[in-house]
């Protein structure tokens, strides 16, 4: 099976999503800030909304894969549990007294149970009576303390891994609360039979290096098509990370142009797709009050070694139009006052997932933006996101496309 993403708005064929599980039930008033959530979500309702979202995708012909299931299947592949013992259950994470005992558990635990804990976290009481070791860490922890913290941000599958054309970046995440997601993503993409047999080209991050400041997240990566990628630089993806990705894309020979966009350094603009998303072959939905003078830079491929020519752009969207080969880009800024725009922005009013050119999925609550896009010829397929949206992520955030067609021009 071939996995590739040729555009942002071509017909969507396959995606990975993560149905909220144990990890969302372990989000509390005491830990939600540390885990990058603004509130405690109603987990049961969030699952219902996510199920409806997945059903909407299937109704539009999209093959939906669930990350938790892929992870469980990957854990039964040869070498997967050894990888986990090497990269997760280490003496530096748990102390030398626990390392061997946790390695043993990793090797014998049923795959579905282990996958649930890798995402949902492990409390001390979860392993009470299973491990008998003179561990200072175990003695120190209370029964309801986390031995392994939950990963509720796995809900946002866009960020931890991203396909760009025929390549895959397994992204080094910016925040400590999300960095362990990369281990789970590497398990899936390195060991699951569907991906291991598919010969997926790895671009960046599929290693055990210290990436330091070169962080990158998929919400900042937009495959705009025509051998070009746009990447946001802000709270999560750094210039160093963007350059690492650009050089990998240029070496792969599938991309000629990378456009790097500087974002406002605010939580509501944590990724490029919280500020703008592509909704048609020539159109972007853009936060109405996003500064017109956003700085952007174009990296032009020079050769097979990853070198590039760098230039700062006078304006962003004329450059995008030129790269896409269209006369102009329709920049769709909803006519709305600042307070209304801020409310819809907080609820991911510009975070759309394209199903096909001019057909996108968005949260129904952003009524002003949705009506405006409809007036501009964009069909918005509405979904409920009362709980999902409280995690500060929209339909694009919830999905990792693994197969999407190019756009006919």
Q: Provide the annotated active-site residues.
A: 397
- Specify whether the backbone of 377 is left (phi greater than 0), alpha (psi in -120 to 50) or beta: left
H runs (alpha helix) in 192-329: 193-196, 239-252, 316-324
* CA–CA dist 77, 80 (Å, integer): 6
* CA–CA dist 345, 324 (Å, integer): 27
Angle between helices 338-346 and 367-375 (to 10 degrees): 100
How many angstroms separate the Cα of 71 from the Cα of each of 66, 75, 106?
9, 6, 14
Q: Which residues pair with 63 in a beta bridge?
A: 14
Angle at CA of residue 3, ends 379 and 380, nearest 5°: 10
Kindly calculate the radius of gyration of the chain based on its CA atoms and give it in whole angstroms. Answer: 21
- Max distance between CA atoms of the chain, in angstroms, equals 70
Q: By three-state DSSP, how is residue 143 classified? A: coil
Q: By three-state DSSP, how is residue 315 classified? A: coil
* CA–CA dist 174, 343 (Å, integer): 26
CB within 8 Å of 113: residues ≥ 6 apart: none
Residue 99's CB: how many other CB atoms inside 10 A? 18
* CA–CA dist 131, 268 (Å, integer): 43
């Amino acid at each position: 099976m071939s996995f590739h993403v040729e555009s942002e708005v071509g017909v969507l064929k396959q995606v990975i999503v993560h149905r909220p599980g144990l990890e969302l039930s372990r989000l509390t008033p005491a830990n939600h800030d540390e885990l990058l959530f603004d509130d405690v979500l109603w987990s049961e309702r969030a699952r219902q909304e996510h199920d409806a979202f997945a059903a909407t995708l299937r109704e539009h012909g999209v093959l939906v894969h669930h990350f938790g299931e892929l992870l469980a299947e990957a854990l039964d592949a040869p070498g997967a549990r050894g990888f986990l013992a090497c990269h997760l259950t280490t003496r530096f994470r748990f102390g030398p007294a626990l390392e061997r005992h946790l390695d043993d558990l990793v090797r014998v635990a049923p795959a579905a149970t282990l996958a649930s804990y890798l995402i949902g976290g492990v409390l001390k009481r979860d392993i009470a009576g299973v491990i008998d070791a003179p561990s200072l860490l175990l003695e120190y922890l209370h029964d309801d303390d986390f031995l392994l913290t939950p990963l509720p941000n796995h809900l946002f599958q866009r960020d931890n891994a991203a396909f760009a054309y025929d390549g895959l970046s397994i992204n080094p995440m910016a925040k400590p609360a999300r960095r362990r997601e990369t281990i789970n993503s590497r398990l899936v993409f390195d060991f699951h039979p569907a991906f291991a047999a598919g010969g997926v080209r790895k671009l960046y991050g599929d290693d055990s290096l210290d990436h330091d400041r070169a962080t990158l997240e998929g919400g900042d990566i937009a495959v705009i098509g025509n051998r070009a990628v746009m990447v946001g630089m802000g709270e999560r993806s750094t210039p160093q990370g963007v350059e690492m990705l650009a050089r990998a894309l240029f070496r792969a020979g599938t991309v000629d142009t990378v456009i790097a966009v500087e974002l406002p350094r605010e939580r509501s603009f944590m990724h490029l797709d919280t500020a703008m998303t592509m909704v048609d072959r020539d159109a972007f939905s853009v936060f109405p009050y996003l500064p017109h003078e956003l700085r952007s830079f174009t990296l032009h491929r020079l050769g097979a070694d990853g070198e590039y020519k760098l230039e700062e752009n006078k304006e962003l969207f004329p450059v995008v139009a030129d790269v896409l080969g269209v006369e102009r880009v329709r920049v769709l800024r909803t006519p709305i006052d600042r307070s209304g725009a801020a409310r819809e922005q907080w609820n991911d009013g510009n975070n759309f997932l394209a199903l096909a050119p001019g057909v996108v999925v968005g949260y129904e609550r952003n009524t002003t933006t949705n009506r405006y896009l409809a007036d501009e010829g964009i069909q918005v397929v509405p979904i409920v996101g009362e709980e999902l949206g409280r995690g500060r992520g929209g339909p694009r955030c919830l999905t990792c496309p693994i197969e999407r067609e190019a756009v006919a021009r």
